[in-house]
A and B are shown apart, each in its own frame.
Chain A
Amino acid sequence: MSEVLTAPLVVEFPFTRSLGPVLSAFLTGLRERTVLGVRASDGRVVVPPTEYDPVTAEEMRELVEVGSSGTVTTWAWNPSPRRGQPLATPFAWVLVRLDGADTALLHALDAAGPDAVRTGMRVRVRWAAERTGAITDIACFEPDDGPAGDGRPAGHRGEFADPVTTLTAPARLDYTYAPGRAQSRYLQALAGHRTVGERCPSCHKVYVPPRGACPTCGVATGTQVEVGPRGTVTTFCIVNIKAKNLDIEVPYVYAHIALDGADLALHARIGGIPYDQVRMGLRVEPVWTEGGRFPDHYRPTGEPDADYDSYKELI
């Protein structure tokens, strides 16, 4: 039995998003310690504001200023804060209806414990010390002993100096990648400088690298078949643009290579030959570097070129 491989995998999302007029006004307002809402055609005040009415889909542009205190409409006690959440100590998630608003805003409430939180309690915004125009400019909410506001939102033009127009909210997710049975077997053999494909029991094609299923027949490829190490360039391209974080001089050749015994070409860089002398049919072999888990590149073997008919089905 081969061991199943795993490896850490980090996926990051560095998106920058355009805000548009309503979201820009709201987030710029937070930077200026001002909470804005938007009025719907029936008079409801939506906070946080959206560009379109969630009920009627009508465009909404009439901004109003609401209070920075409000009432908890529901809550949930979070005993174990997680990465990225507003507070690092136990806190309550809350939906808060700010004074003058008809809808509720999601945020965190800094409270001593679950016994100190209830639906209907009064809370107020705790502003972050450094504000950039983001929902996190509200550091959290905190209990508020004061009376409820008069509930009448004031008109607001939504105009501020130096408005925030984009939002960059980087996000990161951490995974443990597991390639499964077939690819684990392939990678383990490769670590021993052997290239092992898998044969389809139905059409008998040998897939390299194997992915566990024959994409033509839809059945598991179970039989392992060692292929190569030599192979034939079936087609290639010349790379003229240097890739970021890749220490290879351009131009270089990237090629499809049909290893001897394989029915699918894999791709790799060709070295050890001037880029303008690489050709279809060139016979190549892998070049391993010290400690490498896969071939660094392929180089010419010096054999005569393969006959076109021998690889034309693999292009």
Chain B
Amino acid sequence: MREVAVVAFGQSVHVRDSAETSEVEMLMPVLHDVLAQTGLAARDIDFTCSGSCDYLAGRAFSFTMALDGVGAWPPVSESHVEMDGAWALYEAWVKILTGEADTALVYAYGKSSPGDLREVLTRQLDPYYVAPLWPDSVALAALQAQALIDAGLTDERALAGIAARSRTAAESNPHAQLRGAVPAGEPLVAPLRTGDCPPIGDGAAAVVLAAGDTARRLTARPAWIRGLDHRIEAHSLGVRDLTDSPSTRLAAERAGAFELPVDTAELHAPFTSQEVVLRRALGLDAADGTVRINPSGGALAANPVMATGLIRIGEAAARIHRGASDRALAHATSGPCLQQNLVAVLEGE
């Protein structure tokens, strides 16, 4: 199998409201940043793939406008997923594995500020039985949190601890939206308090992938993708065990995550309670565990929807690039209550 690495990662500063910029105006500096890191121009990139969602800002075909920021001339080989950019990265990785491309530009962006994110996310739910009830994203996560508490797997104090650890870690992340001491706050949908929930905001991220010697030429220490897999569970919440994430566990197994210990894990857990589920599924709670979880602050520090998962892969890769990690796990999620999960294993040489 071809060796493929993340050779560059960039992201915007994530903010509550980016009304002064259009999507392409927000995204373009990030694209220029990752290309500059590698010295590549857009025409040198073999494949471009992006992830975004028209429902967020209410703009049909917004990704075609965003492509203006790439400079798609002469015509480029391009694709888009209406999913988090982590799945765009998956498509680009497969494209490189086939030998059709040696380099790929992957980007994702999301502007949650124009709409009401909690309402917008109800439109991804089963349109017959669930969406007519308008259960918002916090409510569904709260049902999962209560199930965890009932099962004795966590409590409100432990959840507050996850929130505090994440926002403290984010103090050294210049891109984070929420950092430092953040109060636990009032129950938003109990048992989840405002502090258990991610900030709502706008942002963008991009990575460059490259194969083999091209990757070695483009950066001093490529973050090699040793495994990458994604799995999905049933859409109906009532048929799932919300305290567990078999899809995460299986994706991790298929990605080779359990073959050797990792030193870093970037987990896409927008709600504190979801980190509890993921740590259990990924075996990160072992007694001898020295795994650094979400050194970036994770989704609790910045949650530009559709880019948050790609940022987990980018943050893990960036730690490898700068020598702070030798083997890292990155995770991305999609859908309510961790319905779909992607796991990547990255290594330095």
Tell me, in angstroms, the Cα distance from A182 to B20 when the chains sit together.
10
- The residues of A that contact B70 with a CB separation of less than 8 Å are 218
Complex contacts, B73 vs chain A, CB 8 Å: 215-217
Residues of B within 8 A of A314 (CB): none
Contact of B237 among A79, A83, A106, A173 (CB under 8 A): A106
B118 contacts the other chain (CB 8 A): yes
- Asked if B139 and A93 make an inter-chain contact with CB atoms under 8 angstroms apart, the answer reads yes
If A85-B135, A174-B115, A216-B71 touch, does A135 touch B129 (CB 8 Å cutoff)? yes
B134:A85 contact, CB within 8 angstroms: yes
Would A74 and B25 be within 8 Å (CB), given that A171-B131, A218-B68 are in contact?
Answer: no
Q: In the complex the two chains form, what is the Cα distance from A78 to B130 in whole Å?
A: 16
Which of B20, B122, B127, B136 has a CB less than 8 Å from the CB of A180? B20
Instruction: Decide if B237 touches A211 in the complex (CB within 8 Å).
Output: no
A73, CB-defined interface residue at 8 Å: yes
CA A156 to CA B296, docked complex, whole Å:
55
B239 engages A75 (CB within 8 Å): no
A197 to chain B, nearest CB (A): 15
Q: Is B24 in contact with chain A by the CB < 8 A criterion?
A: yes
CA A46 to CA B119, docked complex, whole Å? 27
**Contacts between chains A and B (CB distance < 8 A), count:** 194
Q: Is the CB of B131 within 8 A of A218?
A: no
Our pick among A93, A97, A179, A220 for the contact of B189 (Cβ within 8 Å) is A93
Given A77-B189, A83-B119, A215-B71, CB of A175 within 8 Å of CB of B114: yes
Q: Which of A12-20, A225-233, A287-295, A301-309 contacts B (4 or more CB under 8 A)?
A: A12-20
**Main SS class of interface, A:** mixed
Per-residue interface assignment for chain A, residues 42 to 53, with 1 indicating a CB less than 8 Å from any chain B CB and 0 otherwise: 000011101000
Which of A97, A136, A167, A182 is the one whose CB lies under 8 Å from B25? A182
CA distance A218 to B58 in the complex (A): 24
Give Cα A105–Cα B177 distance, bound, in whole angstroms. Answer: 36
* A178 CB within 8 Å of chain B: yes
Cβ distance B89 to chain A, nearest Cβ, rounded Å: 20
Interface size for B (C-beta < 8 A) is 62
Which of these binds chain A: B140-148, B274-282, B316-324? B140-148
Chain B contacts for A181, CB-based, 8 A: 20-22, 25
CB of A86 within 8 Å of the partner chain: yes
Q: A15 is contacted by which of B31, B32, B127 (Cβ under 8 Å)?
A: B127
Measured between alpha carbons, how far is A46 from B42 in the docked complex, in Å? 51
Given known pairs A93-B143, A106-B135, the reply for A9 and B190 (CB within 8 Å) is no
Type the 1/0 row for A96-112, where 1 means its CB is closer than 8 Å to any CB of B: 01000001111110000
Could you list 11 further interchain pairs (A-B, Cβ under 8 angstroms) beyond the known A84-B119, A84-B134, A180-B20?
A74-B147, A76-B145, A77-B191, A83-B119, A103-B238, A104-B239, A171-B123, A178-B22, A183-B22, A216-B71, A216-B73
Q: Which residues of B contact A (CB under 8 A)?
A: 19-25, 28, 31-32, 42, 55, 57-59, 65, 67-73, 113-116, 118-120, 122-123, 127-136, 139-140, 142-147, 150, 187, 189-192, 234, 236-239, 242
Listed by A's residue number, 14 A-B pairs whose Cβ atoms lie within 8 Å are A4-B19, A55-B239, A74-B147, A75-B146, A76-B192, A84-B132, A84-B134, A106-B237, A177-B59, A182-B22, A212-B21, A212-B22, A218-B68, A220-B25
